[in-house]
Structure 1
């Protein structure tokens, strides 16, 4: 087999993975949806091989799991997992904010401000996924300033694992125009970073993640997800 023939299925798997991931995160494939290889291959117009590889990667990312007699299924949301994931996020992200705010440059603070403006625009337009993308970009700038790539990698992995929970929380807040929780903490975090206020940045992140946990819990309770 030529190298080009080996590479082609991998490139297709990347495209299928991105398509399925987006469909899961935006709710087109809700929790409990079965991912049947042949059906998905027909829908995306590929052979089964790239779809199998994409599903395997979705399992690794925590978005899909295997159920007896059903195969690959989009994972549901549980209060237990929510608490566990957000507890770990607090441990890592409070420290990342503390370290990052001590070392961040003025230029990076301006980059955070630019992402904040894009985030507020997404809120005004009611676009949940772009809101989360800009929120994570803003936080990544601060966390990268800490100078620990492994810390940022671990945090990004947790973001991916809990993206479905974040969507639930963001949608709930967007449904309440008076709710400022989607932007208030980021505003305070930028202010703390500009002042190199490590204690303040850590406190903002702690409060933000605790608030997010409570909001998502309330939404899951309302939806009957347990």
Structure 2
């Protein structure tokens, strides 16, 4: 994202603040800080570190968009949180995001999945793909920056993931278990339903 920021900060005519929220190992933070300095992005790319949940929520409420350029993202709960806040999102087209970022939002330009950076056999990013990937990511950011989002669109984004809650997911899991219990009971011929415990005489 920092390399992409070097492209879109130069290309966009207005000031852009890029916040990278979160805290990793000290050596990782040191590398990020060094890259920010190397690219001359001090004051434009900010690394506030670890933030409380309520602070992250406040940041999402005032942000223009959310970017999750993961090399590998098994799920991406924070992406759902961003969408639920009405934020446009950009993520890599790998792992979890393609399964839950609504197609209707992608078609409307309110969400975008970019190709992931190329990796080697161990899953490590290929250095030769860093520049092409960062440029493609920057272009996706610029497309959204050049098109301001309306409040109606933010409500549309949030509504599109309204069913992506823990309660909804729990209900889906319960429904699957009920179906499995009913199917097993039918196969056993004991007449037990989804809500009726099966009884097997000893």
Do these two structures clear the TM 0.5 threshold for a shared fold by scoring above it? no
Q: What TM-score, normalized to structure 1?
A: 0.27
Larger RCO: 1 or 2 (CA < 8 Å, sep 6+): 1
Give the structure-2-normalised TM-score: 0.29
Higher share of residues assigned helix? 1
Whose Rg is larger?
2
Instruction: Looking at secondary structure, tell me which structure has more strand per residue.
Output: 2
